[in-house]
């Protein structure tokens, strides 16, 4: 299989207006990835799927990552800058016909609040359907072009996204029919105090 650098260079030649960045993974697995320009992502995905050399016809895994805002201190000047937060969708692609992979793609939102829409890869790789719903549910990324985007684990009307790093679990577990242990301890905060019962007179 071509190296990730070669794939990136071919993509840039095919889509010269797109921004495509090589993201290096410093960990032992060294699974580097390509950060795609979201505006060109559907076209790039189709190219990777149909290209005779690559034939990346299977997405084995899609997941989300939450990168909150963080402060960066320059090692030389000690100047502080703030890196805005964003969300990422990460896809692991393989070729069943060519027997190679993975090629890892990343898509990044503009922020974590009101610009969290990315294009769906489900029209290209059907296996993304369920997984993009899960990312939407747990991280809040909205996938434009998904055929049936809905919550999978949390109920309809739930307002938050439990895999966000700043998610705070509620104290009131009133939906738990038989609270016990730590769940009961939290729930007691919201239960009305039981009025003391008068003592039964002794005969």
Report DSSP letters for 128-174, one per residue: HHHHHHHHHHHH--EEET-TT---SSSPTT--S-TTSTT----S--T
- Is 168 in the same domain as 151? no
Q: What is the CATH number of the domain that holds 69?
A: 3.30.460.80
- Is 126 in the same domain as 35? yes
**pLDDT band at residue 11, thresholds of 50, 70 and 90?**
very high
Mean pLDDT, all residues of the chain: 90
- Is 62 in the same domain as 131? yes
Given a cut of 70, whether residue 196 has pLDDT beyond it is: no
**pLDDT band at residue 8, thresholds of 50, 70 and 90?**
very high
Residue 192: DSSP 8-state:
P
Task: Please report whether residue 50 resides in a domain.
Answer: yes
- Is 87 in the same domain as 177? no
Task: Please report whether residue 25 resides in a domain.
Answer: yes
Name, in order, each residue with C-beta under 8 angstroms of 11's C-beta and a sequence gap of 6 or more. Answer: 18, 20, 34, 44, 47
- Is 112 in the same domain as 147? yes
- The residue that leads in pLDDT, 183 or 26, is 26
20-23, strands of its sheet edge to edge: 20-23, 33-36, 100-108, 86-95, 58-67
- Is 81 in the same domain as 181? no
Task: Please report whether residue 61 resides in a domain.
Answer: yes
Give the residue from 3, 91, 5 showing the smallest Cα distance to 49.
91
174 lies in which domain range?
163-193
Task: Please report whether residue 138 resides in a domain.
Answer: yes
Report the number of distinct structural domains present in the chain.
2
Given a cut of 80, whether residue 202 has pLDDT beyond it is: no
- Is 167 in the same domain as 99? no
- Is 115 in the same domain as 184? no
pTM of this structure: 0.85
Given a cut of 60, whether residue 175 has pLDDT beyond it is: no
Question: Which of 14-23, 173-182, 188-197 holds the top average pLDDT?
Answer: 14-23
- Is 112 in the same domain as 49? yes
- Which pLDDT does position 195 carry in this prediction? 46
**pLDDT band at residue 59, thresholds of 50, 70 and 90?**
very high
Strands (DSSP E) contained in the chain are 20-23, 33-36, 58-67, 70-73, 80-83, 86-95, 100-108, 117-119, 142-144
- Please, where are the H alpha helices in 15-127? 41-50
Q: CB of 109 within 8 A of CB of 164?
A: no
Q: Which residues of 22-50 are buried (b: 16+ CB within 10 A; e: fewer)?
A: ebeeeeeeeebbbbbbbebbbbbbebbbe
Task: Please report whether residue 168 resides in a domain.
Answer: yes
Task: Please report whether residue 203 resides in a domain.
Answer: no
User: What is each CA distance from 143 to 40, 53, 107, 152, in whole angstroms?
Assistant: 14, 28, 11, 14
- Is 106 in the same domain as 188? no
- Is 38 in the same domain as 115? yes
User: Mean pLDDT across the stretch 15-27?
Assistant: 96
- Is 178 in the same domain as 97? no
Residue 33: DSSP 8-state:
E
Task: Please report whether residue 202 resides in a domain.
Answer: no
Of the listed ranges 37-51, 89-103, 126-140, 178-192, the one predicted with least confidence: 178-192
Task: Please report whether residue 199 resides in a domain.
Answer: no
């Amino acid at each position: 299989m071509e190296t990730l650098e070669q794939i990136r260079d071919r993509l840039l030649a095919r889509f010269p207006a797109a921004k495509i960045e090589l993201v290096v993974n410093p960990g032992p697995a060294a699974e580097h990835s390509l950060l795609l320009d979201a505006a060109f992502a559907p076209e790039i995905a189709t190219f990777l799927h149909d290209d005779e050399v690559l034939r990346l016809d299977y997405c084995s895994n899609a997941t989300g990552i939450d990168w909150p805002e963080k402060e960066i201190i320059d090692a030389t000047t000690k100047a502080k800058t703030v890196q805005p937060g964003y969300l990422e969708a990460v896809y692991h692609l393989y070729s069943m016909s060519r027997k190679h992979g993975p090629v890892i793609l990343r898509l990044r939102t503009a922020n974590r609040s009101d610009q969290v829409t990315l294009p769906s890869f489900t029209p290209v790789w059907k296996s993304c359907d369920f997984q993009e719903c899960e990312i939407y549910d747990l991280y809040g990324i909205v996938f434009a072009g998904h055929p049936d985007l809905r919550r999978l684990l949390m109920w309809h009307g739930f307002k938050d996204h439990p895999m966000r790093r700043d998610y705070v679990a509620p104290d009131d577990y009133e939906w738990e029919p038989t609270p016990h242990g730590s769940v009961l301890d939290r729930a007691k905060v919201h239960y009305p105090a039981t009025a003391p019962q008068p003592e039964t007179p002794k005969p």
